[in-house]
């Protein structure tokens, strides 16, 4: 009886990914207001609103599966504003579609495939930017908060394939990954005042496979961290 009551309380106060996402959006707008106010008080300050897009190279760093990096895309809005001395603040919201392959075989072991999965979601980044050349070349670093859906199979015909290294774990069993993850990002951007290209690396510091544990699967201590390379361009207004 006591366990049932505790579970009821837990579910009542559990924060869903949707609630987390709404809070992150609210925080983004608060920071945008702060940056606009600060820049207006700063002599010679600047603020740019931009549209960005690019390609991603996503993989999962894990000892539990044989994975393959695959390409995806990312697009969204970003801001860049003068903060202090040689530093800018950069933050924004992006929507992305990432892909990854996981090796598996049919029940007879005669057909081995690199099974494709797609992860769709959104991310909010809060980055500091050190200007090597103001408005033209900078190094950026900071946290990224990522909210995503399931790691969805691209083709249902592979859902009963057994994943490499296991006897009963199938491709459909590992779709329910963690929805909220924290990443650390670092990168370089270069270009003109109103157009830049950049390269960025994001490493997931949280276990994106953690929700697979405790689901009565063949293994109960899955661990994996996202690894993402982003090549993008941004137009500032």
pLDDT exceeds 70 at position 33: no
**Residue 98's closest CA among 78, 124, 71, 76?**
71
3 state DSSP class of 22: helix
The CATH code of the domain that includes 165 is 2.40.160.20
pLDDT exceeds 80 at position 22: no
How far CA 31 is from CA of 66, 80, 148, 149, 176, in Å, comes to 40, 12, 23, 26, 32
Give the tens place of pLDDT for each residue, 97-124.
999 999 999 999 899 999 999 999 999 9
pLDDT exceeds 80 at position 13: no
Counting the structural domains of the chain, the total is: 1
**Residue 125's closest CA among 80, 167, 63, 86?**
80
The pLDDT, as a whole number, for residue 46 is 80
**Residue 120's closest CA among 101, 93, 147, 145?**
147
How far CA 193 is from CA of 43, 70, 128, in Å, comes to 18, 32, 18
The residue segments making up the domain with residue 111 are 2-236
How far CA 213 is from CA of 173, 176, 178, 180, 222, in Å, comes to 11, 10, 11, 16, 6
pLDDT exceeds 80 at position 10: no
Give the tens place of pLDDT for each residue, 162-183.
999 999 999 999 999 999 999 9
Per the model's pLDDT, the better-predicted residue between 231 and 8 turns out to be: 231
The pLDDT, as a whole number, for residue 167 is 96
């Amino acid at each position: 009886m006591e366990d049932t009551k505790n579970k009821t309380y837990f579910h009542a106060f559990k924060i869903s990914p949707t609630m987390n996402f709404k809070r992150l959006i609210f925080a983004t707008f608060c920071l945008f207001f702060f940056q606009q106010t600060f820049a207006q008080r700063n002599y010679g300050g600047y603020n740019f609103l931009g549209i960005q897009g690019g390609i991603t190279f996503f993989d999962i760093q894990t000892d539990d599966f044989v994975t393959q990096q695959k390409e995806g895309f990312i697009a969204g809005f970003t801001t860049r504003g003068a903060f202090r001395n040689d530093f800018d603040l950069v933050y924004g919201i992006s929507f992305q579609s990432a892909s990854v392959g996981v090796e598996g075989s049919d029940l007879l072991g005669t057909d081995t495939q690199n099974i494709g999965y797609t992860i769709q979601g959104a991310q909010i980044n809060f980055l500091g930017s050190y200007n090597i050349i103001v408005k033209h070349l900078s190094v950026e670093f900071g946290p990224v908060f990522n909210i995503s859906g399931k790691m969805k199979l691209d083709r249902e015909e592979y859902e009963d394939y057994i994943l490499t290294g296991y006897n009963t774990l199938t491709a459909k069993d590992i779709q329910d990954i963690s929805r909220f993850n924290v990443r650390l990002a670092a990168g370089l951007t270069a270009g003109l005042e109103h157009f830049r290209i950049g390269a960025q690396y994001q490493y997931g510091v949280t276990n994106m496979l953690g929700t697979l544990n405790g689901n009565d699967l063949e293994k109960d201590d899955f661990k994996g961290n996202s690894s993402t390379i982003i090549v993008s361009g941004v137009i500032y207004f």
